[in-house]
Structure 1
Amino acid sequence: MSGKKNKVNALVPPLRFPEFRAIAEWEAPELHMISLPVEERVGDRRLTPVSISAGTGFVPQAEKFGRDISGNQYQSYIVVRTGDFVYNKGNSLKFPQGCVYDLQSSDDVAAPNVFICFRLKDGYEKGFFRHCFENNAHGLQLKKHITSGARSNGLLNISREAFFGVKIPTPGRAEQKKIADCLSSLADLIKAESQKLDALKAHKKGLIQNLFPRLEKSVPHLRFPGFQSVGAWTKVAAGHFFSNRIERGSSSLPIYSVTMTEGLVPRASLSRRIDDIAESSANKTVRKGDIAYNMMRMWQGALGVAPEDCMVSPAYIVLKPQNANPFFFSFLLKLPQTLQTLTAHSRGLTEDRLRLYYDDFAKVPLLCPSLPEQERIADCLTSVDKLITVQRQKIDRLRLHKKGLMQQLFPVLDEVAV
């Protein structure tokens, strides 16, 4: 594969595999020329009703919505078979003009008749077009057909004629297959690495379940050597382990926010605002190793250990550890049974308005081991967290690599004269 400067207005991608460099430029047939509408109704057959989700594809309705929502409309649903494509014209962040996925399962499914279903004609590679639609080949062309916002059912007002009029840059079948094989192998690698990530997360979940006492127990199922005969954990008020750090913020320190999944992270790394940040004089300083929690969402587990000196919103409580391992407590405070206790100590008229002030937090009884055992548990779980972070970063790099390849392997239709 190599880069090649395209002639003006030539429908040729920036990168082509060597065996196709001398072949003529790609064509751009409209979708109706290379596909057939799928309109077979389900009728009395019993198929799984599905929805189409951006970034995921086919999802059983019972899984997405918690129940089958087809109701009286089920019989008019469309039968979708392996290799058929379905267009959901609902907008999303990833696909503002709607998403298109092909069914890769061997089982037929039932899709709502508000979706547009179609099947490629012979001579066209499903894998190639799968990646075309993943690359949003349809999006920019459909954008001009959207004359208003989404309808009451959440779908964009894109007609079947407009959708089937979309032009898809298409090479010969051999090149289609080569591109499909390249991108599919990378997609398979990403899937395999994602499964490894899921396995690490499951391993961490299992460790937490076994390294902390279960509900109404005072001894964990698993203990590290050296602590097996120490005895039961004891309940101690949280104020014994943490004091309330009250230190005015400094403009020289970075601003951090808490997330539900990653703890305290730099605000600059977030794609949206998590909570309001006041002027630096009103912010609170957090020292490395402190635990900061959002007093409005602590009962949901919104907390994290500071990786460096930083500052946070006045809506946060900053806990200074004393004879406590902060990483151990970052796990302990997110256990379901602990969150239930924290909720009980929070103040507010409704769940949406609960607040957990330090004075109330300090009274919360926490079941804890000795400091050496805290440190051993924290070391174990943080090491798994590091593996999870490394694995997540690896997947992010692979996805970025795939995205870059797709940008180079497909020509941009609106930049050429077709």
Structure 2
Amino acid sequence: MSEAMEKGLVPGLRFPEFRDAGEWEKKRLADIAEFYKGKGISKADIQPNGNQPCIRYGELYTIYGELIDNVISKTDMSPNELFLSHTGDVVIPSSGETKIDIATAACVMRKNVALGSDLNVIRSKQNGVFLSYYLNGALKFEIAKVAQGDTVAHLYKSNLEKLDLAIPPQIEQQKIADCLSSIDELITAQAQKVEAVKAHKKGLMQQLFPAEGETVPKLRFPEFRNAGDWNAIPLGQLAKRCKQKNGQGKLNRVLTNSAEFGVIDQRDFFDKYIANQSNLEGYFVVEKGDYVYNPRISTTAPVGPISRNNVAAGVMSPLYIVFRFNNNQNDFYSNYFKTTGWHQYMRQASSTGARHDRMAIANGDFMAMPLPVTRPEEQQKIADCLSSIDDLITAQTQKLTALKAHKKGLMQQLFPAVDEIVG
């Protein structure tokens, strides 16, 4: 180990050419940067056909990572009314829901981008990409510590100015920035692969099942092209409702049906149990393999989602409808319910009632929903085809998760430990 490594104010992982370059220099953020505040851009100011690219603080949480190159929002406000970026400016929200969320930094890679009023702007002669990764990684919790407020978190210039950090020479900053940004490029490319496979599956499902009002699918495997029309049979003849209640509260695994993730343990979805654990006797028992309808409407589930329980036995809110197919040999109907072929029936058989965010449908009407039926061999072929694509999605998603974990590990090692800087 070199003398520089023994001194401590160096990262745990350093590129070979810098291992004998000495310690990083301890600084306060105020020593290396100037601080500005963006100017107001409201939601109403966002115009799809505007000429001026702009960034609002909420987009840092939902859209952008550490680097902002392709700006998605535009406004038609005059540049004279706006605060425009320099290339390499680092932005951090000045308000947010939680202190840890507010500690979200991003480097603006373009000049003359309008920055909204709820953004702190850090302008430095240091490498902005390096600084963004540093603030968003090793120093994230330090930023959260200095944020103020409980119901709404606030981050002021005076909070950021006192932030301690360690700075290497520009050439080492660039090396770290290049390393992490190259991993981000891999992550972006891998995420696009995952989305492409998901889109392929979605399009395929719409063709492998008959469209509403049709009796054969647009796409059929060769061996079934002369097999005749599909039938439509009410759900109640193919499945039965599951109405068993959780007597004496024997089961305490509370499940939820998310439009995005399907049936999952409520703890995984909300990070805690939302249901009252002492009052689960009235919940429905849901066995593995059962199907669940959640009447809650969302953008991704306009009539509510129907999902198969692939988790484990548990209980569900009595607001849901639980049913079990008489013959549950494959994922044929699990995939069908991911299409839109049953949506029109639901709209006709139900109303939104008093609550516009929920479908109101009688149990009998729900169980009368017509489902497509073909010979078992064709159902199995379709299920196998779509399952193979699911396997591909899983494999590609695992690669994406591994890349993100690799980046996270690198970010922990490419910067000095915080306690060595503030200690």
Q: TM-score higher than 0.5 here?
A: yes
Distance 2:118 2:311 in 1: 52
> Which digits, 9 at most, give the CA deviation of each residue in 1:118-148, with x for residues without a partner?
4331xx3333222112216265246335256
Residue aligning to 1:372: 377
1:319-349 deviation per Cα after TM superposition (whole angstroms, max 9, x unaligned): 1212466622223233334234224334643
The one of 56, 67, 80 equivalent to 2:63 is: 56
- Choose from 387, 390, 399 the match for 2:404: 399
Matching residue of 1:306: 309
The offset of 1:296, in angstroms, is 5.4
Deviations 1:129-187 (A, max 9, x none): 2211221626524633525654xxxxx54333433443332122233233223322322
1:408 matched residue in structure 2: 413
> Which residues of 2 match residues 200-239 of structure 1 at below 5 A?
200-239=197-236
Q: Give the alignment's TM-score, normalised by structure 1.
A: 0.80
1:293 corresponds to: 293
Does the Cα contact within 8 Å between 2:202 and 2:339 map onto a contact in 1?
Answer: no
Give CA deviations for 1:238-259 in whole Å, capped at 9, x if unaligned. 1121112333548378553322
Number of residues paired by the alignment? 400
| Closer/same/farther in 2, CA of residues 320 and 162 from structure 1, 3 Å limit | closer
Q: Are residues 1:117 and 2:121 paired?
A: yes
CA distance in 2, matches of 1:259, 1:368: 26
> Given the superposition, is the C-alpha separation of residues 389 and 92 from structure 1 closer, same or farther in structure 2, using an over 3 Å criterion?
farther
Worse-matched range after superposition: 293-302 or 329-338: 293-302
User: Helix, strand or coil for the counterpart of 1:264?
Assistant: strand
Does residue 130 in structure 1 map to residue 129 in structure 2? no
State the one-letter code of the partner of 1:134.
N
Alignment RMSD, CA only?
A: 3.7
User: Which segment drifts farther, 222-231 or 322-331?
Assistant: 322-331
Identity of counterpart residues, as a percentage?
30
Letter in 1 for 2:386: L
Q: Which residue is equivalent to 2:258? A: 259
**Aligned equivalent of 1:171:** 168
Give 5+ residue unaligned stretches, structure 2: 41-49
Relative to structure 1, the CA distance from residue 295 to residue 393 in structure 2 (aligned partners, 3 Å threshold; closer, same or farther) is: same
Q: How far apart, in 1, do the equivalents of 2:380 and 2:363 lie? A: 24
Which string of whole-angstrom CA distances, capped at 9 and with x for unpartnered residues, describes residues 47-100 of structure 1? 223324225335999x67xxx6x6768632122243332232232569433422
The gaps in structure 1 that reach 5 residues or longer are: 151-155
Distance of aligned partners of 1:195 and 1:266 in 2 relative to their CA distance in 1, 3 Å threshold: same
Cα pair 2:295 2:303 within 8 Å, conserved: no
Task: Describe the shift of the 1:48–1:97 C-alpha distance in structure 2 as closer, same or farther (beyond 3 A).
Answer: closer
Q: Does 1:15 align with 2:13?
A: yes
In structure 1, the residue matched to 2:275 is 276
2: distance between equivalents of 1:94 and 1:59? 26
Would the alpha carbon gap of residues 399 and 145 (structure 1) be closer, same or farther in structure 2, given more than 3 Å must change?
A: closer
Q: 1:139 to 1:118 in 2, by over 3 A?
A: same
- Larger mean Cα displacement after TM superposition, 232-241 or 47-56: 47-56
Aligned residue for 1:78, secondary structure, equals coil
Supply the distance in 1 between the matched residues of 2:325 and 2:38 (Cα, whole angstroms).
65
Q: Give me the whole-angstrom Cα distance separating, in 2, the residues matched to 1:182 and 1:264.
A: 38
Deviates more, 1:375-384 or 1:349-358: 349-358
